């Protein structure tokens, strides 16, 4: 009986080491691998009314906090506030290392019309960030 108790005591320390120290170390990268990327931060346009008088294009600018694991940024432009497929007028993918800005020709926009820009980032693993929205009215 004493040998059994002695063997049990000898197993407690190694088992505790594995569960308390080693297991959490291997769990950290797994949690990070499936986390969605941070959404981009929209820098421009940020006002409710955009004046395109005498301008050739409207430039959209954004900031990506951690661009290392980002594959591309998805930019979509909708006519009206509703982001339904029927209202989609422009869509593009901008590779991560290319730029954090994109210009759309002023001829795409109609005066007095409301538009909604939607941005999201997609990681190298295919995880998608939350969407970032901005809506604005165009004046020409």
pTM recorded for the entire structure? 0.72
CA 79 to CA 69: how far, in whole Å?
31
**Regions in the chain scoring below 50 on pLDDT:** none
Residue spans per domain, the chain: 1-34, 41-139
The closest alpha carbon to 76, from 63, 60, 64, belongs to 60
At 67 the pLDDT is 83
DSSP class of residue 26 equals H
Average pLDDT, the chain: 85
At 96 the pLDDT is 85
At 22 the pLDDT is 57
At 87 the pLDDT is 96
**What is the fold, at CATH topology level, of the domain defined by 41-139?**
Immunoglobulin-like (2.60.40)
What Cα–Cα distance (Å) separates residue 109 from each residue in 48, 74, 80?
Answer: 15, 20, 11
At 35 the pLDDT is 75
């Amino acid at each position: 009986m004493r040998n059994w108790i002695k063997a049990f005591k000898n197993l407690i320390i190694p088992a505790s080491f594995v569960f308390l120290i080693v297991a959490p170390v291997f769990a950290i990268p797994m949690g990070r691998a499936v986390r969605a990327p941070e959404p981009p931060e929209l820098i421009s346009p940020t006002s409710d009314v955009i004046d395109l008088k005498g301008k050739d294009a409207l430039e959209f600018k954004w900031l990506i906090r951690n661009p290392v694991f980002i594959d591309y940024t998805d930019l979509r432009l909708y006519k009206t506030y509703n982001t339904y497929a029927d209202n989609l007028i422009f869509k593009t993918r901008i590779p991560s290392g290319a730029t954090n800005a994109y210009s759309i020709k002023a001829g795409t926009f109609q005066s007095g019309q409301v538009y909604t820009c939607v941005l999201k980032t997609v990681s190298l693993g295919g995880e998608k960030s939350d969407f970032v929205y901005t809506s604005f009215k165009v004046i020409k």
